[in-house]
């Protein structure tokens, strides 16, 4: 599909030149159904060109998507939302991967510093109320990400979500619409074995917390290793109270759905 294609019931994404890019989600998902991850990324690059971005959290398996995407589009803008509460190991991991893969990294943070937020709102993460945890995610993650997408004039957003991660992600297709953007999921069908094989083949590292028993890592105060009695890997984040942080939900749903940090 090219930018000039006009199809029935299209989703229109406005390009930087002001011209609409017509994308029919049903048709595109059928077209990409049996394509490899690299082919999916190549389709996204051909379709959206400079309007394509990737996000990362430099989590446990982030090296996979970073390597996959930059192998196809070396200079792709990569958004990293730094909450200000990441473990020291995450910052070192991010620095090393950025240098190794020559990433075109764009770092975004909340305009509200951690100290100021704590003074005005308290330690929002230290709560058993989902409302407080959602406010934390809105301040430290969702607002910076939405600002990044606007400032970078993103039309499509590559993410490393996988169906096995949360109930919401089980419902996703390869290409979906979130608010005014298209989301592209190149490794949606991958399992843990696929991840391991890709990392091994390309000699890529896991986040160092993997060796400490973590299957997901976010902020230092809201992540823990996987325990034998955990029924879901997501129980290791925010006391198991949340499943999505809002980054990967429509803005209209972000305030009403249970949320949890992305493993990207």
pLDDT at 19 over 90: no
Instruction: Count the Cβ atoms, other than its own, within 10 Å of residue 59.
Output: 26
Q: What percent of the chain has pLDDT over 90?
A: 56
Average pLDDT over residues 6-21: 50
Closest CA to 254 of 244, 262, 242, 241: 244
Token pair 């029924």: residue:
231
| Residues 6 or more apart in contact with residue 246 via CB below 8 angstroms | 134, 137, 138, 141, 142, 254, 259
Q: Is 245 a catalytic residue?
A: yes
Nearest to 263 by CA among 203, 222, 202: 222
Q: What is the mean pLDDT of residues 168-184?
A: 84
Q: What is the pLDDT of residues 48-77, one digit of tens each?
A: 999 999 999 999 999 999 999 999 999 999
**What is the domain partition of the chain in residue ranges?**
11-254
Distance between CA atoms of 50 and 238, rounded to whole angstroms? Answer: 36
| Candidate CATH numbers 3.30.499.10, 3.40.50.620, 3.30.1490.480, 3.20.20.370; the one for domain 11-254 | 3.40.50.620
- pLDDT of 227 over the 70 cut: yes
90: tokens are: 């995450």
Q: Phi and psi for 247 in degrees, rounded to 5?
A: -60, -30
- Taking the C-alpha atoms of residue 216 and residue 233, their distance in angstroms, rounded to an integer, is 8
Tell me which H or E stretch contains 12. strand 11-14
DSSP labels, 113-175? -HHHHHHHH--TTS-S-HHHHHHHHIIIIIHHHHHHHHHTT-SEEE----TTS-HHHHT--SE
| Whether the Cβ atoms of residue 117 and residue 110 lie closer than 8 Å to each other | yes
**pLDDT tens figures, 134-170:** 899 999 999 999 999 999 999 999 998 888 766 777 8
54 - beta bridge partners? 78, 158
115 burial via Cβ count (<10 Å: 0-12, 13-18, 19+): exposed
Catalytic residue, chosen from 53, 245, 247, 264, is 245
Q: Whole-model pTM?
A: 0.82
Contacts 24+ apart (CB under 8 A), 249-255: 249/168, 249/178, 250/178, 250/179, 251/146, 251/179, 254/134, 254/138, 254/142, 255/134
Q: Please give the pLDDT value at position 249.
A: 47
Average pLDDT for the chain: 83
Show Cβ contacts of residue 126 under 8 Å, excluding neighbours closer than 6 positions. 221
- Residue 5 is predicted with a pLDDT of 37
């Amino acid at each position: 599909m090219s930018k000039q294609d006009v199809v029935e019931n299209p989703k229109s994404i406005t390009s930087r030149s002001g011209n609409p890019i017509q994308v029919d989600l049903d048709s595109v998902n059928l077209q990409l159904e049996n394509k490899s991850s690299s082919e999916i990324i190549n389709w996204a690059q051909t379709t959206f060109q400079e309007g394509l971005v990737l996000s990362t959290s430099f989590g446990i398996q982030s090296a996979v998507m970073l390597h996959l995407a930059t192998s196809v589009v070396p200079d792709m803008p990569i958004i990293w939302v730094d909450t200000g509460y990441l473990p020291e190991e995450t910052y070192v991991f991010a620095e090393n991967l950025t240098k190794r893969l020559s990433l075109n990294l764009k770092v975004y943070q909340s305009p509200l510093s951690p100290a100021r937020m704590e003074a005005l709102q308290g330690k929002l993460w230290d709560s058993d109320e989902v409302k407080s945890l959602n406010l934390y995610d809105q301040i430290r993650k969702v607002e910076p990400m939405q600002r990044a997408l606007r400032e970078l004039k993103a039309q499509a957003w590559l993410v490393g979500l996988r169906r096995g991660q949360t109930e919401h992600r089980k419902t996703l297709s390869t290409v979906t619409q979130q608010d005014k953007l298209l989301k592209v999921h190149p490794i949606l069908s991958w399992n843990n074995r696929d991840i391991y094989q890709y990392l091994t083949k390309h000699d890529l590292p896991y986040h160092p917390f993997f060796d400490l028993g973590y299957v997901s890592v976010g902020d230092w105060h809201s992540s823990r290793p996987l325990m034998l009695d955990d029924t879901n890997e997501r129980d290791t984040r925010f006391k198991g109270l949340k499943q999505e942080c809002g980054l990967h939900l429509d803005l209209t749903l972000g305030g009403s759905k249970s949320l949890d940090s992305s493993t990207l």
